[in-house]
Structure 1
Amino acid sequence: MTLSALALAGVAHADGRTMPDVTGKGLVNAYQALNYDTTIQFKDGLGARRLVLWPGSWKVCGQNPAPGTPLEGKKITLTVVKDHEQCGAPAAG
């Protein structure tokens, strides 16, 4: 199963957790910080609408909600780019 299948918009579990700071981390590490069971929506940081098929080759450029925000009922969106790309770089093409 690919993580893109898990990236459907949904809300975090209501277990009292707060949003960790995952900006700048690899996507695998971000999943570890979110305990793998949290539903996450991805946004391509280059605006190319790519799907995350192999999380080990992506990194987090931005997050919503902000670190420290209670996760109860919140949708989580991570803005991601491939490891070799710069955050905020314009899309090639």
Structure 2
Amino acid sequence: MNHTGTVRTVLATATAVTALAVSLVGPAAPARADGRPMPDVTGKNLVAAYGELNYTTAVRFRDGRGAGRIVLWPASWKVCGQDPAPGTPMDDRKITLTVVKATEECAAPAA
């Protein structure tokens, strides 16, 4: 990759992280009512997951460890669960992603 490509990648990543961080400041609002189905973001890095939601969808985060931790640096978190389920229309739905630090294991789903 040349210098220009590297700069573009860094700027795109910084823009994505900034957009995600800004979305964390306000309360979660319903997703855009555009009929898109909820993508499957489980197992993805939080920045990549948010990118699949087009950076415009308000998202709530739930600490997968139950410790109430706050996501301050999205790149260091991963998605363990999501609500609504993949394929569900996102019309006026609140999106909740259950997340843990990228170095942690996701808890096994309750039986």
Shared fold per TM-score greater than 0.5: yes
Q: Percent identity?
A: 62
Give the gaps of 5 or more residues in structure 1: none
- Match for residue 99 of structure 2 among 80, 85, 88: 80
Partner in structure 2 of residue 22 of structure 1:
41
Task: Give distance in 1, aligned partners of 2:28 and 2:53.
Answer: 15
Output aligned runs, 1:23-38, within 5 Å: 23-38=42-57
Note the C-alpha offset of 1:16.
Answer: 1.5
Which residue in 2 is equivalent to 1:69?
Answer: 88
Q: Partner of 1:4 in structure 2?
A: 24
What is the total number of aligned residue pairs between the two structures? 88
Q: After the TM superposition, which residues 41-56 of structure 1 pair with which residues of structure 2 at under 5 Å, given as runs?
A: 41-56=60-75
Post-superposition shift, 1:19? 0.1
> 2: distance between equivalents of 1:82 and 1:4?
16
Aligned-residue offset at 1:73: 0.9
Greater RCO (Cα-Cα under 8 Å, separation 6 or more):
1
What is the Cα deviation at residue 4 of structure 1? 2.7
Rounded to whole Å, the distance in 2 between the matches of 1:50 and 1:10 is 20
More helix by share: 2
- The structure number with the bigger radius of gyration is 2
| Runs of 4 or more consecutive aligned structure 1 residues displaced over 4 Å after TM superposition | none
Tell me the residue number matched to 1:39: 58
Mapped to 1, the partners of 2:83 and 2:99 lie a distance apart of 12
